[in-house]
């Protein structure tokens, strides 16, 4: 189940992430590649020594922000496709569908679902902070703050 969730989230963001990385690569000055060509560098060496070092901060920031969404799932996939069938809860229940189902119960369900959603967000926030702290220790120029 977790593999399917991760795959759907990854596929969902491929388009915008591709555009973001492409825009970052287009921002690299062409004179670096021309100098590397004059020095005899091949395409792989250009990627390893020019492209990746220039987009390294973007890669790190995008990774930090993606880590915050680890506990988010595609609600439509797990709720609408399975049609909220109780027999399938053991295999398709994720935090987002649990919050929705508990919220429908009533007043007590609303408080439980709010607490669960808050806990989910808090865990994502802590993961972002820990990851940013780790990146800050390794390379302070690439951290969020």
Tell me whether residue 102 is in a domain.
Answer: yes
Looking at residue 50, what is its pLDDT? Answer: 96
Tell me whether residue 32 is in a domain.
Answer: yes
Tell me whether residue 145 is in a domain.
Answer: no
Looking at residue 10, what is its pLDDT? Answer: 59
| Contact status, residue 24 vs residue 54, Cβ threshold 8 Å | yes
Beta-carbon neighbour count of residue 93 at 10 Å? 17
Looking at residue 55, what is its pLDDT? Answer: 96
Looking at residue 81, what is its pLDDT? Answer: 76
pTM of the shown model: 0.75
Q: Which structural domain, as residue segments, surrounds residue 83?
A: 2-138
CATH code, domain carrying 101: 1.10.3720.10
Tell me whether residue 143 is in a domain.
Answer: no
CB-based contacts of 57, cutoff 8 Å, min separation 6:
141, 142
| Contact status, residue 110 vs residue 118, Cβ threshold 8 Å | no
Tell me whether residue 79 is in a domain.
Answer: yes
Tell me whether residue 106 is in a domain.
Answer: yes
Three-state helix/strand/coil letters over 36-85: HHHCCCCHHHHHHHHHHHHHHHHHHHHHHHHHCCCCCCCHHHHHHCCCCC
Looking at residue 72, what is its pLDDT? Answer: 85
Per-block average pLDDT, block size 10, for the chain (145 residues)? 50 88 96 96 96 95 89 80 78 84 82 92 94 93 87
Total domains present in the chain: 1
């Amino acid at each position: 189940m977790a593999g399917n969730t991760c795959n759907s989230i990854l596929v969902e963001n491929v388009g915008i992430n591709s555009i973001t990385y492409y825009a970052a690569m287009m921002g690299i000055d062409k004179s670096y590649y021309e100098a590397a060509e004059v020095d005899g560098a091949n395409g792989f060496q250009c990627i390893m020594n020019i492209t990746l070092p220039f987009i390294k901060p973007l890669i790190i920031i995008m990774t930090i922000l993606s880590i915050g969404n680890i506990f988010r799932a595609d609600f439509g996939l797990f709720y609408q496709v399975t049609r909220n069938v109780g027999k399938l809860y053991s295999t398709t229940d994720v935090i987002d569908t649990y919050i929705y189902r508990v919220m429908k119960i009533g007043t007590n369900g609303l408080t439980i679902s709010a607490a669960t959603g808050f806990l989910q967000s808090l865990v994502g926030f802590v993961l972002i902070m820990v990851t940013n702290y780790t990146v800050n220790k390794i390379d302070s120029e690439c951290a969020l703050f």
